[in-house]
Chains A and B, each alone.
Chain A
């Protein structure tokens, strides 16, 4: 079986992330999450303070934008700290 190239896998994962954040998120539960519910039940929910959201919360567009911001930041950091090919271990060919 011929395996898909790394770029194909990367494109599919990115597409999946964008669809999950932009479309599937519309069907997410609006109920409080585990910690929020427990804090309400145990009577300390009121001690939590929220700050204003720069993007006005999660929506289809802002969610997809968030995916791209995270991709850029995390991708940039990990690309910067990566091991260069000539540093050590030349294993198999890198051709894609």
Chain B
């Protein structure tokens, strides 16, 4: 969903740039609470993993592909603030080194594929987690639902920005229908990859998954800590 230069007019691109800069500023402050000596090294790896996975376009419909956005994945693995820092880094490198996404559209891409997917992904994840049983086995399915919703949300974000400052005159209704339609399909792939990645880490080291911590804290109270201590 990388937006190139030219889709949005200059005032809108400046506006999205200001929003992105502010969001990264907030994330730099918020990430401090999420990161300690043990989890900090993993945040860079999450960004690297998202970057790699974004190269893997999978077919979704005739002549159309999609790739993981990764905001929900990053937020659930390392926390929403750190997750946004990871995503912003990915888009910066893609834009500057790979010409993937426009330079004036960098703010737009951070907002849509970073901010929207992180905020929507994390909010949906927490909401689903509150409803489902507090079990470790529920973390990956909750992440899948969050990931599924995050992609069409980002697509709708693009339609909103196009309504504000799109450079071509076209039917916003048609644009919204087409964008949401294809991105629901991409969201299914996003859900599968997100559940697989989070499920894999949950299986070996659930304590490294930020979104699993409330469940883990509860479980340790119930099950007892003998095996945990033996493993530590």
Binding site for B on A (CB under 8 A): 1-4, 6, 9-10, 13-14, 16-18, 20-21, 24-25, 28-35, 37-39, 41-44, 47-55, 57-58, 62-63, 66-79, 81-85, 89, 92-94
Question: Can you list 18 residue pairs at the A/B interface with Cβ under 8 Å?
Answer: A6-B38, A29-B58, A32-B65, A34-B60, A37-B63, A38-B178, A41-B178, A42-B170, A47-B7, A51-B99, A54-B96, A57-B99, A58-B98, A73-B44, A74-B43, A75-B40, A78-B85, A83-B35
Partner of A44, one of B2, B170, B231: B170
In addition to A34-B179, A34-B186, A47-B168, 5 A-B residue pairs with Cβ atoms within 8 Å of each other are A6-B38, A21-B52, A47-B7, A74-B47, A93-B232
Cβ–Cβ contact B232 & A51, under 8 A: no
On whether the beta carbons of A58 and B55 are closer than 8 Å, the reply is: yes
Contact of A74 among B32, B36, B48, B64 (CB under 8 A): B48
Cβ of B41 under 8 Å from chain A: yes
Expressed in whole angstroms, the Cα–Cα distance for A16 and B40 within the complex equals: 19
CB <8 Å contact, B59 and A31: yes
Are B44 and A74 closer than 8 Å at their CB atoms? yes
User: Is B3's CB within 8 Å of the partner chain A?
Assistant: yes
- The reply to whether A67 and B85 contact each other, CB–CB distance below 8 Å, is no
CA A17 to CA B48, docked complex, whole Å: 6
Is B4 engaged at the interface, CB distance under 8 Å to the other chain?
yes
Assembled-state Cα–Cα distance A55/B67 (Å): 21
Q: Please measure, in the bound complex, the distance between the C-alpha atom of A3 and the C-alpha atom of B228, giving whole angstroms.
A: 9
Give chain B nearest CB distance to A45 CB in angstroms. Answer: 9
Q: Which residues of A contact B60 (CB under 8 A)?
A: 34
B65 touches A31 (CB 8 A): yes
Instruction: Report how far A75 CA is from B49 CA in the complex, Å.
Output: 12
